[in-house]
Amino acid sequence: MLTELLHRAASRAVVYDAIQLVAGAAPLLEKRLAENLGHLPSRPTILDVGGGTGLPPSLWPEGTTYVCLDIDSLKLAGFVGKKRPGSPVQADATRLPLQGEAVDLVVCKNVSHHLTDEQLPRLFGESARVLKRGGRMLFIDAVLAPERFRSRLLWRYDRGSHPRTSEGLRDAMAKELKIQKWDDFAHHFRYVFLAGVKQGALGRGGPAPRPDPAGS
Ligand SMILES: C[S@@+](CC[C@H](N)C(=O)[O-])C[C@H]1O[C@@H](n2cnc3c(N)ncnc32)[C@H](O)[C@@H]1O
């Protein structure tokens, strides 16, 4: 009994430490997004899928219409509480309540591991649907990295999550968008960064590039 209690306490401490490390990575991940915005039209519409409490407006060009979409109303209340520019939308990432070709940029950070294998293709399918042609999706998430002790701990104690490999996530995005960039990088955990572009009618998906070693 005592052993079990100690084990549970230790697990919580490990989870707490892991959460602190994940939170500590936020500025680095946001920098990746900012560096990869590419060319955006003036006054772009940016959709943050699974946006939680939102991303800082300093990342986007002036005049951006920012939409923070999340399934969790508490997260969206946190976004509203920050009084930042943008609109909260409570919805499922796999059934976006937006018209097709309405968005210039889709951002999706640290969300895919919450989605099942049935939901993941729909995340990319829906993101591609709402993007304008030439519009891009920027995607970041932690990935499986069995060689990293912290990664093993993160995934072991993050119950209910769906960790995937960098290649698996790239392949899932490549079914809907042409991959422009694929980087693996590490900050306590291993992450994948993907940028995909929506092409014309003949341009769905495309051959997947190799990861950029400079990105690690
Ligand atoms: C780890 S948080 C990341 C939040 C934010 N993107 C960030 O990086 O700070 C994952 C978010 O995904 C949201 N989420 C999970 N499943 C979702 C779904 N099916 N549709 C929309 N949001 C979802 C959760 O509510 C949560 O806010």
178 in ligand 1 pocket by Cβ < 6 Å? no
52 in ligand 1 pocket by Cβ < 6 Å? yes
Distance CA 206, CA 173 (A): 10
109 in ligand 1 pocket by Cβ < 6 Å? yes
Residue type, 195: A
Residue 51 Cα to ligand 1 midpoint, Å, equals 6
* Protein residue with least CA distance to atom 9, ligand 1: 52
* Protein residue with least CA distance to atom 13, ligand 1: 50
Q: Tens place of pLDDT for every residue, the chain, 216 residues?
A: 444 544 454 445 555 455 555 666 888 999 999 999 999 999 999 999 999 999 999 999 999 999 999 999 999 999 999 999 999 999 999 999 999 999 999 999 999 999 999 999 999 999 999 999 999 999 999 999 877 777 777 777 765 589 999 999 999 999 999 999 999 998 888 999 999 999 975 544 444 455 554 443
What was the pLDDT predicted at 166? 96
What was the pLDDT predicted at 212? 53
Please choose from 66, 70, 138 the residue to mutate so as to test ligand 1's pocket, defined by most ligand atoms within 8 A of CB: 70
Fold of 2-215: Rossmann fold (3.40.50)
Distance CA 79, CA 152 (A): 31
* Protein residue with least CA distance to atom 1, ligand 1: 110
167 in ligand 1 pocket by Cβ < 6 Å? no
Residue 132 Cα to ligand 1 midpoint, Å, equals 23
What was the pLDDT predicted at 215? 43
Distance CA 195, CA 96 (A): 20
Residue 83 Cα to ligand 1 midpoint, Å, equals 19
71 in ligand 1 pocket by Cβ < 6 Å? yes
Residue 70 Cα to ligand 1 midpoint, Å, equals 6
What was the pLDDT predicted at 210? 54
